[in-house]
């Protein structure tokens, strides 16, 4: 018999340690590990970490086998790992309905549980009896499922489990905008059970998404059906939010030792090595003690001052825990692993030696890692006065299986039994490695031959959409529909990915579907989701932003390929030529640089060999995901958010010539082509709305003393509905269309606002019973002199009958109020009638697709948001990410149901998020961004610049184009003086509002006093704090009826209308100060 080698003997020693500290607790039926002998429940996070040493030991035995028994031992250890991972999978699959629901609600009540019954895999506490929402725990499971599968273990055994794992990906992909309870299960530091955005959760989710992308869960034995797909934009969102948060861990935690798992093993989620070092140094300098690291500053867990009989703390109680926080040895195991992966042998030896000094040794020589070290109750005052001098005592679990496992894994790596690549087969440890420069390939295509000829006249040679065949060009929303099919499983009742927009990283790949190539246009040019894409200047700005984003965030093999169509909407209103802004952009693209990004402009066919290709195998013919087409289509239609109709943009006619007959689905033999053609056919816009009729002397539909809100209030009252009486003044009509009262954003809202009697007569047609005759209202649609009048009538019908009420126009059937609003939205978009566009968007409750992401961007930069005009309680504060639907509802509630203000609020939030990413210095002195106050300031500045009344300024603000709105916001934030230009529209234009544009003034265009105006405004708007309280910023003067400009150069307030009193700035001091 061959003698045992020294390495074999040492391995056997670690095997005994693993057996006596970890595997002896593993349940024989479920494979789960209880937290301890006292706490018998199985936590997901603890189980994954605890089994890592078993996984590593199994690989060490297989690698260093002296005899056949070692190989058998390796197999036994590996199967113990498989059993635990399968047990956790069974726990989660029993809550499959929660996974399905959470994808849509992101509610703490709809999430997977954090712990389960060890013997039965069942739940142990109610949904609201624990901080279950812990995205990092689910992400950690997916991360090591991917790593273990890549190492050769077979954990997933059938396609139903594959579908569930795919839905877990959808479950965590929104982690960057989900407030959870974090890895310590308590939420914010005050331990009040308040969820918050946690860097540890975002980072772990980012790592899991990257690791499992394009992974075959069946390993070498799999095929296309068992591959997991991840959208790259979701990964990049997590990366962006994480980097903006670090080194801070969350809103309430300055630093958290749990971030070690994010910046190093196992996640390696941060790509910036400097940020990694900064975060690690912060942890060591602020949290490290003689026995390990405390979790975070003022952590009261198991300290002598903590009351174990109370679940939550009092806010003032946190001060008691300072300097006596418990120290956790587990964090030294992270630092040992960090040193091993970084090749820092000094760090490894330093922490191994320190850890060895605090381990607890049993009689049989087994060394145990305790859960934590606490200050003795009789030494608290001494520790207060001289931190880190008192000898602490070990308490809590012994061993702490999580820490014990990482300790053993670190020993196996440090002693050479394992190589770093063996426990990181997916090479996540190279995340901070050098990334080469990215060249973005841009393919410009013309919608029609006419546009192609116009471009050729300007020296820009492009192909038309049908000339790029056999590659088919489709809008991004079609790709969103396609991804809805991913993860569908009828047996588990899983619907797949929720209908969400696809980011530019996702649309910059070429896709292979059923042996055919597809490319998708970027989402930002889709005019049907939100009105920003109706503004050509805004398209140019978004293109510049997205190209820069691609050049810095692209991580895939090959180059990104952006397809940019030139459509009829990009032609000038005046002479039908290419819009100057679009043409200037094309010339810059030809030069090879745009927005700081290196670009290469060319034909799509020439980019085939250098682009990144993705095969969407879940749509292959044998996958049967399209077998019930009608049912799938109905689901897809419903998933258009906020009642949007999936209308196609203007190159539908060209798409009809591409690869299938759009108007006759029966001629296409391939079911996938039928599905795509059906989606495209359903987006063809129809013309049902009568044209506006302008006759000399014709009266408007409603009398001059009524606002649009009066119209809705009267109708709602007649129907028994309750409409809030406190209003922020709805923008009803353009300034020049003086048939109705205009809004005035500069009116000072009063807490006890007295509204006029709503018992007025709108002269609406009545039937024999005295009720509003909706059929007669429909007839009035044919005689409306303006688009605004049509919008008002449709608003009334929308409120009385709902969006799905069939409107009988000239005998046409199947025409609904919703479809007419969509048609009117298109007409307003063509006329660039921005106030009306915002009005209709508000009626339809449209939501910016990236609204939740924008709010999270601001919050992750440590800003708070308020929505609604001051004063409180209408002004709502947002301090943590909210689910999209909840956020949208909050904005409309805070806006007092003034729908245009609600829409403008969303727009401002998106612009602020753009600036906080690109120019964070603009927000350096601000904590709370008050959107309602910003809107008031913008209107005030327009009133000052245009020398007009508050009503005219407010209407002018609502009629600004998105790009001008964004520019005005930037000028106010940056302190740059701006100019305003008025110009009348062409005579043939259907718009009734004046065209107003914002431009920057040079130093020669304004006096010194004028140039300092907005600088003074900015300084007064900045956040000011005092100890213990904040200065209120609501307007307090009950006598004032106008909100005047505080930036008036003369030191007195600029007049905002006839008869406005000149108030001195000193009398209004404090009104513009931010919280």
pLDDT in tens, 548-582: 999 999 989 899 999 999 998 888 877 788 999 99
Rounded alpha-carbon distances, angstroms, from residue 476 to 375, 447, 479, 560, 1036: 58, 16, 5, 15, 48
Rounded alpha-carbon distances, angstroms, from residue 788 to 611, 703, 765, 955: 47, 14, 19, 14
Q: State yes or no: pLDDT of 631 exceeds 50.
A: no
Average pLDDT (852-880) is 85
Here the tokens at position 671 are 């079911």
Confirm if 820 and 853 have CB atoms less than 8 A apart: no
CA distance 261 to 280: 11
- Exposure class string for 685-718: b at 16+ Cβ within 10 A, else e: beebbbebeeeeeeebbbeeebbbbbbbbbbbeb
Here the tokens at position 338 are 């960090």
Q: Using only C-alpha atoms, what is the Rg of the chain?
A: 32
Pairwise pLDDT comparison (658 vs 28), residue with the higher score: 28
CA distance 85 to 30: 10
Q: Using the structure block, give the residue that is written with the tokens 């001289």.
A: 386
- Which of helix, strand or coil describes residue 1074? strand
Here the tokens at position 840 are 């209709």
CA distance 394 to 106: 39
3-state percent breakdown (helix, strand, coil) of the chain, nearest 5 = 45, 10, 45
- Which of helix, strand or coil describes residue 1001? coil
Rounded alpha-carbon distances, angstroms, from residue 585 to 518, 535, 591: 25, 14, 10
Rounded alpha-carbon distances, angstroms, from residue 970 to 138, 855, 906, 1017: 40, 18, 16, 13
pLDDT for position 452 = 93
Here the tokens at position 97 are 């309905």
In the chain, the N- to C-terminal Cα span, in Å, equals 80
Most confident of 708-712, 977-981, 1025-1029: 977-981
Average pLDDT (515-535) is 86
Angle at 122 between CA 120 and CA 123, to 5 degrees: 145
Q: State yes or no: pLDDT of 158 exceeds 70.
A: yes
Lowest model confidence (mean pLDDT) among 633-642, 959-968, 1029-1038 = 1029-1038
- Which of helix, strand or coil describes residue 562? strand
Here the tokens at position 771 are 């009720």
Q: What sign for the dihedral angle of Cα 382, 384, 389, 390? A: positive
* 576 secondary structure, DSSP code: S
Q: State yes or no: pLDDT of 1007 exceeds 70.
A: no
pLDDT in tens, 8-60: 889 999 999 999 999 999 999 999 999 988 889 999 999 999 999 999 999 99
pLDDT in tens, 493-507: 999 899 888 999 999
For residue 15, give every residue at least 6 positions away whose Cβ sits within 8 Å of its Cβ, in sequence order, or none.
Answer: 57, 61, 73
Half-sphere exposure of 13 (CA within 13 A, CB side): 15
Closest CA to 98 of 194, 168, 187, 42: 168
601 φ, ψ to 5°? -95, 130
CA distance 1039 to 1026: 28
pLDDT in tens, 801-816: 888 888 887 666 778 8
Task: Say what the alpha-carbon torsion angle 158, 159, 163, 165 is, to the nearest 10 degrees.
Answer: 30
Here the tokens at position 909 are 């939030």
pLDDT for position 1066 = 36
Quick one: pLDDT band at residue 80, thresholds 50, 70, 90?
A: very high
Beta strands in 787-904 (DSSP E): 864-867, 876-878
Q: Using the structure block, give the residue that is written with the tokens 């704090």.
A: 1025
Q: State yes or no: pLDDT of 75 exceeds 50.
A: yes
Strands 439-446 and 597-601, by their bridges, are: parallel
Percent share of the chain, pLDDT over 90:
48
Average pLDDT (445-458) is 92
CA distance 866 to 869: 9
Q: What sign for the dihedral angle of Cα 1053, 1056, 1059, 1060? A: negative
pLDDT in tens, 773-800: 888 888 888 888 888 888 888 888 888 8
Lowest model confidence (mean pLDDT) among 34-48, 182-196, 350-364, 727-741 = 727-741
1015 φ, ψ to 5°? -60, -40
* Cis preceding-peptide flag for 470 (omega within 30 of 0): yes
CA distance 747 to 1043: 6
Q: State yes or no: pLDDT of 663 exceeds 80.
A: no
Beta strands in 79-192 (DSSP E): 115-117
CA distance 981 to 657: 44
Quick one: pLDDT band at residue 435, thresholds 50, 70, 90?
A: confident
How many CB atoms within 10 Å of residue 582? 22
pLDDT for position 649 = 38
Q: What sign for the dihedral angle of Cα 940, 943, 949, 953? A: negative
Beta strands in 313-438 (DSSP E): 360-361, 367-368, 372-374, 393-395
Closest CA to 996 of 1011, 1010, 978: 978
Helix axes 401-414, 44-63, angle to 10 degrees: 30
Half-sphere exposure of 997 (CA within 13 A, CB side): 10
Lowest model confidence (mean pLDDT) among 86-95, 127-136, 680-689, 1000-1009 = 1000-1009
Here the tokens at position 339 are 């040193």
Confirm if 941 and 1047 have CB atoms less than 8 A apart: yes
Average pLDDT (68-92) is 94
pLDDT for position 1012 = 43
Confirm if 7 and 63 have CB atoms less than 8 A apart: no
Q: What's this model's pTM, rounded to 2 decimal places?
A: 0.84
pLDDT for position 363 = 81
Average pLDDT (698-727) is 50
Strands 978-983 and 995-1000, by their bridges, are: antiparallel
CA 580 to chain centre: 33
Average pLDDT (1008-1019) is 44
CA distance 734 to 994: 8
For residue 768, give every residue at least 6 positions away whose Cβ sits within 8 Å of its Cβ, in sequence order, or none.
Answer: none
Q: State yes or no: pLDDT of 698 exceeds 80.
A: no
Beta strands in 625-694 (DSSP E): none
Phi-psi label, residue 967: left if phi above 0, alpha if psi -120 to 50, beta otherwise: alpha
Q: What is the mean pLDDT of the chain?
A: 81
Q: State yes or no: pLDDT of 414 exceeds 90.
A: yes
Most confident of 515-529, 713-727, 984-998: 515-529
Q: Using the structure block, give the residue that is written with the tokens 């690869």.
A: 659
pLDDT for position 620 = 77
Pairwise pLDDT comparison (1036 vs 484), residue with the higher score: 484
For residue 659, give every residue at least 6 positions away whose Cβ sits within 8 Å of its Cβ, in sequence order, or none.
Answer: 469, 470, 472, 516, 673
pLDDT for position 985 = 53
Q: State yes or no: pLDDT of 907 exceeds 50.
A: yes
Q: Using the structure block, give the residue that is written with the tokens 């860097």.
A: 199
Half-sphere exposure of 174 (CA within 13 A, CB side): 31
Pairwise pLDDT comparison (73 vs 946), residue with the higher score: 73
CA distance 964 to 1036: 31
CA distance 135 to 127: 15
């Amino acid at each position: 018999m061959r003698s045992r080698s020294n390495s074999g003997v040492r391995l056997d020693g670690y095997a005994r340690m693993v057996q006596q500290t970890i595997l002896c607790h593993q349940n024989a039926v479920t494979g789960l590990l209880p937290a301890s002998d006292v706490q018998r429940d199985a936590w997901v996070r603890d189980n994954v970490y605890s089994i890592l040493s078993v996984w590593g030991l199994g690989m060490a035995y297989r690698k260093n086998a002296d005899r056949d028994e070692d190989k058998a031992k390796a197999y036994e250890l590996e199967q113990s790992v498989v059993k635990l991972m399968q047990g956790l999978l069974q726990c989660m699959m029993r809550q499959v309905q929660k996974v399905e629901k959470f994808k849509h609600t992101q509610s703490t009540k709809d999430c997977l549980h954090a712990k389960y019954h060890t013997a039965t895999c069942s739940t142990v506490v109610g949904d609201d009896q624990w901080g279950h929402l812990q995205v990092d725990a689910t992400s950690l499971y997916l991360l090591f499922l991917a790593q273990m599968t890549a190492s050769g273990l077979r954990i997933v055994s059938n396609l139903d489990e594959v579908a569930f794992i795919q839905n877990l990906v959808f479950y965590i992909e929104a982690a960057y905008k989900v407030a959870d309870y974090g890895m310590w299960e308590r939420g914010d530091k005050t331990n009040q059970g308040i969820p918050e955005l946690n860097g540890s959760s975002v980072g772990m989710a980012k790592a899991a998404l990257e690791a499992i992308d394009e992974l075959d869960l069946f390993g070498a034995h799999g095929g296309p059906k068992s591959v997991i797909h991840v959208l790259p934009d979701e990964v990049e969102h997590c990366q962006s939010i994480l980097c903006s948060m670090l080194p801070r861990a969350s809103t309430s935690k300055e630093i958290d030792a749990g971030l070690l798992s994010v910046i190093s093993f196992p996640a390696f989620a941060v790509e910036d090595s400097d940020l990694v070092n900064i975060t690690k140094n912060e942890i060591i300098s602020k949290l490290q003690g003689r026995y390990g690291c405390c979790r975070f500053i003022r952590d009261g867990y198991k300290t002598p001052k903590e009351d174990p009989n109370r679940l939550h703390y009092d806010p003032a109680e946190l001060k008691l825990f300072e300097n006596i926080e418990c120290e956790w040895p587990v964090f030294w195991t992270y630092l040992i692993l960090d040193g091993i992966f970084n090749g820092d042998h000094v760090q490894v030896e330093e922490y191994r030696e320190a850890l060895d000094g605090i381990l607890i040794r049993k009689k049989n020589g087994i060394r145990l890692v305790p859960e934590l070290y606490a200050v003795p109750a009789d030494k608290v005052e001494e520790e207060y006065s001289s931190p880190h001098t008192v000898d602490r005592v070990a308490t809590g679990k012994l061993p702490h299986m999580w820490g014990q496992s990482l300790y053993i894994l670190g020993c196996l790596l440090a002693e050479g039994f394992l190589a770093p690549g063996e426990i990181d087969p997916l090479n996540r440890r190279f995340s901070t490695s050098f990334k080469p420069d990215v060249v973005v390939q841009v393919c410009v295509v013309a919608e029609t031959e006419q546009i192609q000829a116009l471009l050729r006249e300007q020296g820009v040679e492009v192909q038309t959409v049908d000339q790029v065949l056999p590659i088919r060009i489709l809008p991004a929303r079609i790709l969103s529909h396609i991804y809805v099919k991913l993860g569908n499983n009828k047996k588990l009742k899983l619907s797949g990915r929720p209908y969400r927009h696809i980011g530019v990283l996702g649309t910059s790949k070429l896709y292979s579907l059923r042996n055919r190539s597809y490319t998708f246009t970027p989402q930002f040019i889709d005019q049907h989701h939100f009105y920003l894409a109706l503004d050509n200047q805004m398209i140019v700005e978004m293109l510049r932003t997205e190209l820069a984003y691609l050049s810095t965030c692209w991580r895939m093999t090959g180059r990104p390929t952006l397809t940019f169509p030139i459509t009829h909407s990009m032609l000038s209103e005046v002479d039908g030529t290419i819009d100057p802004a679009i043409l200037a952009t094309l010339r810059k693209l030809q030069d090879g640089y745009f927005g700081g990004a290196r670009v290469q402009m060319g034909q799509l066919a020439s980019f085939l060999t250098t682009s990144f290709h993705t095969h969407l195998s879940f749509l292959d013919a044998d996958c049967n995901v399209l077998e019930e087409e009608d049912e799938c289509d109905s689901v897809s239609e419903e998933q258009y958010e906020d009642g949007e109709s999936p209308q196609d943009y203007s190159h539908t006619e060209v798409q009809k010539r591409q690869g299938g007959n759009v108007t006759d689905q029966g001629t296409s033999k391939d079911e996938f082509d039928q599905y795509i053609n059906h989606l495209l056919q359903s987006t063809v816009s129809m013309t049902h709305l009568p044209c506006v009729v302008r006759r000399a002397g014709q009266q408007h539909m409603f009398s001059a003393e009524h606002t649009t809100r009066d119209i809705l209030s009267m109708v709602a009252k007649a129907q028994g509905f309750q409409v809030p009486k406190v209003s922020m003044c709805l923008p009803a009509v353009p300034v020049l269309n003086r048939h109705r009262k205009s809004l005035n954003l500069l009116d000072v809202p009063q807490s006890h606002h007295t509204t006029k009697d709503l018992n007025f007569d709108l002269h609406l047609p009545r039937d024999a019973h005295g009720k509003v005759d909706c059929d007669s209202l429909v007839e009035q649609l044919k005689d409306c002199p303006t688009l605004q009048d049509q919008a008002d009538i449709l608003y009334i019908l929308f409120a009385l009958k709902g969006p799905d009420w069939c409107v009988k126009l000239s005998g046409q059937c199947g025409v609904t109020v919703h479809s007419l609003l969509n048609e009117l939205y298109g007409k307003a978009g063509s006329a660039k009638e921005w106030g009306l566009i915002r009005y209709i968007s508000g009626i339809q409750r449209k939501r910016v697709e990236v609204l939740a992401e924008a709010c999270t961007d601001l919050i992750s930069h440590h800003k708070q948001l308020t929505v609604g005009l001051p004063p409180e309680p209408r002004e709502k504060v947002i301090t943590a990410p909210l689910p999209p639907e909840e956020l949208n509802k909050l904005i409309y509630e805070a806006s007092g149901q003034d729908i245009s203000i609600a829409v403008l609020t969303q727009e401002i939030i998106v612009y602020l998020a753009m600036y906080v990413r690109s120019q964070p210095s603009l927000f350096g002195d601000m904590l709370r961004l008050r959107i309602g106050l910003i809107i008031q300031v913008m209107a005030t500045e327009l009133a000052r610049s245009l020398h007009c009344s508050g009503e005219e300024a407010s209407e002018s603000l609502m009629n600004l184009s998105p790009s001008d709105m964004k520019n005005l916001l930037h000028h106010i934030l940056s302190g740059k003086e701006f100019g305003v230009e008025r110009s009348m529209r062409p005579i043939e234009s259907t718009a009734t509002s004046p065209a107003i544009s914002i431009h920057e003034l040079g130093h020669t265009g304004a006096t010194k006093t004028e140039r300092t105006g907005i600088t003074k405004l900015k300084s007064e708007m900045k956040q000011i704090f005092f100890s213990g309280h904040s200065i209120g910023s609501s307007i307090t003067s009950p006598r004032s009826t106008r909100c005047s400009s505080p930036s008036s150069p003369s030191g007195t307030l600029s007049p905002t209308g006839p008869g406005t009193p000149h108030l001195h700035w000193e009398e209004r001091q404090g009104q513009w100060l931010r919280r």
